[in-house]
Chain A
């Protein structure tokens, strides 16, 4: 099930549409657009074959800024729409771009199922740890104590560990990156696009307008590369789960010095495994049951219904 690809690389800018993003100046999501165009270029993807889907929210507008096919769906429904594309046309690379509220709140039911079925989908979540388009409410990834418009006294929930959840759900590629590190982000997204199977990249992507806690300034000097600095081997699921358990440690002052991240935010590929995709399994079924001509023997089919 090879993707439709170009013979020659296109420059990254060819993957941008001429629509200017409606994002605020300084938004972390700009970095994701740049990284995606680089990855598409490196992978020689054909703009007339790429299909992106998204839901609702600031980051979900992303497909509109791209020179690629896209469906800007309803809130939370980017993944099942992507599934439909995968079922219909596996030769079309399918990229989902979304926000943390869209995927992990309203669209939460779809995440584990799409992951465990191992559809060949790249999911890039721009995680600003809150809802921005509706002007600052807490999301499932917001810090404990974060002040949103519906809880001005501070979030009484604890944040959701999406990395651990993704691994537990059966995603075959799980990574975290940061929109302030263009090189790491581009490399990670490219690795995700290249991966055959469900690839999830959680991008720490600050919202400069509303989130005054998880800012570029905050992340500066607080990132740790689990592959390069800690030598983590992504094929080791046990180690991946152990590391993933500590992803949110830095949220809690009492864990400031805790191993393995010592108050830092981890980036890198946590887990990666090769596994047959859902599309490959469908292809096998079709090979077994569909006649080579593509058109079944209708007389034979109808004869089964005769009295």
Chain B
């Protein structure tokens, strides 16, 4: 059995719950373990319930998991919220027996088989360390001491993080560690079975959060203009990119609103450089008209939508995947866009690069759909081979003055009708023939036109570009068949995208271990809908479960709309509570569906 441990810190926002999780995650990664985090906090700066969960394993981790093994409750609210999740074999570390604001029902917990440890974090921080701010360090040190993490690793992380702030800050944190260690040695007898087995061989990894991976991907892809307006949970893409992009000769521009961001990246793309914006639901709504302009003028642009729970302001820090309709079909008129979605942090990095490649290849706006949970999720991912990635980047083939003979100029058109629909690309200062990119319908030479024939020809040309995106990019559909061969009969099929795909993947893995035959497909390409792969999958099972964190279930409806899969095969499973799925509920849903089949 693999080592698989999840520690959850829960308390009030601003108490250091989030950084406790970060430190623990870094320490675990330092020991050579795989790590995945899950964080959630309120939209307010201070106060409210916050949690930070770290899952670590000696095997590849697919999702945030079903819950926690060890709960560190900073206050009464954190305890109350998590009380229903405490069950046999779990550990509770709580702020007591004195100095805290609550007292758990220890007798009841003991009867349930929950291991409890009272660590007076508030009191120790206040009285023994002399600084309440070190409460989270006491909590972390308690976890390290109790479960066998080398304390040296925590100390290293503290030096890394705080040495800039001065030796006194480092010393204060070290004192908190010592206080916690002494308290535990003197007062607590370990009764639970959890223990970190010890360091593993070090892997060549980088630790990045979801939005950080997007920023890094954009910089590697050669993005030169990033224009954005602050919006939760997308803001941090720009934060991470702002200094980094300067090193590559680019610039992060804070515009006056999302409309301006989109207009600015259109201008930058027209001028010949790779450009991107990042926003969330409300920003996507505002950008729709201009995404249509990018589509009509065939300018490569990358738009990141870090989805949050909508509609309207909704729940800005909460999880949802309900922007797919808006991303794919949110504009007026028939426009051309590509929508892709990563399922984990590693894919955030690689699909950002992919988004630029697709935008350049097809000359259109590409939307990358991620979400708030993924934006905050940290993972240790294999260190990318930047040199190799750069060799495979698609660079814009801008027509240069020196490449065109004067006699050929008359036949050179920016919007030339071609078989693939893809036309020569021009840029000011480089190309020999000026043109005006217009949102008006236009002819090959970019002049406004409204005749029925010219309109039809031009519309067909633009749609030809996206007619074969799936066939031309088979890597944008991920098959997960286990031991099944393509086309072989499965008990059930599963389709999931975005963060939900990583969670479904874990559920599928568990069920396979129990002997079920499951055919799963995790499309990274959401629009144009990868019809062929989906229809092939549909031949393998009688039912296709499509779990989605939205009320309507946008992708399931796309499957009904854009494929020939019989409607009754598609089984929607929708949650819209502002939290991601957990693997267990997808697992149970699949079993429930299989049970129906057995009963029938």
CB proximity to B under 8 Å, residues A41-82: 46-53, 63-64, 66-74, 77, 79-82
In the assembled complex, the Cα of A292 lies from the Cα of B437 at a distance in Å of: 34
In the bound complex, residues from chain B placing their C-beta under 8 Å from that of A73 are 263, 266, 290, 293, 439
Does A88 make an interface contact (CB < 8 A)?
yes
Q: Nearest residue in A to B26 (C-beta to C-beta)? A: A307
Task: Find out whether the CB atom of A48 lies under 8 angstroms from the CB atom of B206.
Answer: no
In the bound complex, residues from chain B placing their C-beta under 8 Å from that of A113 are 255-256, 260
Known: A48-B434, A51-B428, A83-B264. A305 touches B271 (CB 8 A): no
Does B253 make an interface contact (CB < 8 A)?
yes
Task: Find out whether the CB atom of B434 lies under 8 angstroms from the CB atom of A67.
Answer: yes
Does A289 make an interface contact (CB < 8 A)?
yes
Task: Find out whether the CB atom of A49 lies under 8 angstroms from the CB atom of B436.
Answer: no
Does B224 make an interface contact (CB < 8 A)?
yes
Task: Find out whether the CB atom of B264 lies under 8 angstroms from the CB atom of A294.
Answer: no
Size category of the A interface is 35 or more
Binds B, one of A147-155, A217-225, A296-304: A296-304
Task: Find out whether the CB atom of B431 lies under 8 angstroms from the CB atom of A48.
Answer: yes
Does B494 make an interface contact (CB < 8 A)?
no
Task: Find out whether the CB atom of B206 lies under 8 angstroms from the CB atom of A289.
Answer: no
In the bound complex, residues from chain B placing their C-beta under 8 Å from that of A273 are none
CB proximity to A under 8 Å, residues B247-293: 247-249, 251, 253, 255-257, 259-261, 263-273, 275, 289-290, 292-293
* Nearest chain B CB to A142 CB, angstrom units: 25
In the assembled complex, the Cα of A289 lies from the Cα of B434 at a distance in Å of: 34
In the assembled complex, the Cα of A19 lies from the Cα of B289 at a distance in Å of: 27
Binds A, one of B47-55, B173-181, B379-387: B379-387
In the assembled complex, the Cα of A52 lies from the Cα of B271 at a distance in Å of: 11
Does A10 make an interface contact (CB < 8 A)?
no
In the assembled complex, the Cα of A89 lies from the Cα of B268 at a distance in Å of: 8
Q: Nearest residue in B to A22 (C-beta to C-beta)? A: B448
Task: Find out whether the CB atom of B251 lies under 8 angstroms from the CB atom of A282.
Answer: yes
| A19, A64, A67, A84 — most chain B CB neighbours (10 Å) | A84
In the assembled complex, the Cα of A69 lies from the Cα of B266 at a distance in Å of: 14
In the bound complex, residues from chain B placing their C-beta under 8 Å from that of A68 are 434
In the bound complex, residues from chain A placing their C-beta under 8 Å from that of B427 are 69
In the bound complex, residues from chain B placing their C-beta under 8 Å from that of A282 are 251
Task: Find out whether the CB atom of A290 lies under 8 angstroms from the CB atom of B248.
Answer: yes
Does B424 make an interface contact (CB < 8 A)?
no
Known: A80-B259, A305-B207. A92 touches B264 (CB 8 A): no
For B386, give its contact among A50, A302, A305 (CB under 8 Å).
A302
For B428, give its contact among A50, A66, A72 (CB under 8 Å).
A50
A-B residue pair count with CB separations less than 8 angstroms:
184
Task: Find out whether the CB atom of A72 lies under 8 angstroms from the CB atom of B268.
Answer: no
In the assembled complex, the Cα of A72 lies from the Cα of B266 at a distance in Å of: 11
Known: A19-B447, A85-B267, A89-B429. A47 touches B434 (CB 8 A): yes
* Nearest chain B CB to A36 CB, angstrom units: 14
For A286, give its contact among B251, B297, B447 (CB under 8 Å).
B251
Task: Find out whether the CB atom of A48 lies under 8 angstroms from the CB atom of B401.
Answer: yes
| A51, A83, A110 — most chain B CB neighbours (10 Å) | A83
In the bound complex, residues from chain B placing their C-beta under 8 Å from that of A72 are 436-440
* Nearest chain A CB to B161 CB, angstrom units: 13
In the bound complex, residues from chain A placing their C-beta under 8 Å from that of B211 are none
Does B435 make an interface contact (CB < 8 A)?
yes
CB proximity to B under 8 Å, residues A102-123: 109-110, 113
Known: A74-B439, A80-B255. A87 touches B264 (CB 8 A): yes
Task: Find out whether the CB atom of A302 lies under 8 angstroms from the CB atom of B206.
Answer: yes
Q: Mark B1-44, 1 if CB is under 8 A from A, else 0.
A: 00000000000000000000000001001100000000000000
In the assembled complex, the Cα of A47 lies from the Cα of B289 at a distance in Å of: 29
In the bound complex, residues from chain A placing their C-beta under 8 Å from that of B401 are 48
Does A25 make an interface contact (CB < 8 A)?
no
In the bound complex, residues from chain A placing their C-beta under 8 Å from that of B243 are 289
Task: Find out whether the CB atom of B263 lies under 8 angstroms from the CB atom of A70.
Answer: no
Q: List 9 A-B contacts (CB under 8 A).
A: A48-B401, A48-B429, A70-B435, A80-B256, A82-B267, A286-B246, A286-B251, A305-B206, A306-B383
Instruction: State the A residues within 8 Å of B (CB).
Output: 4, 19, 46-53, 63-64, 66-74, 77, 79-89, 91-92, 109-110, 113, 282, 285-286, 288-291, 294-296, 298, 301-302, 305-307
20 new A-B contacts, CB < 8 A, other than A73-B290, A91-B429, are A48-B431, A64-B436, A68-B434, A72-B436, A77-B260, A77-B290, A81-B264, A83-B255, A84-B263, A84-B266, A84-B267, A84-B268, A87-B251, A87-B253, A88-B275, A89-B273, A290-B248, A296-B248, A298-B386, A302-B206
The 5 closest A-B pairs by CB, nearest first: A84-B267, A80-B263, A305-B206, A84-B264, A70-B436
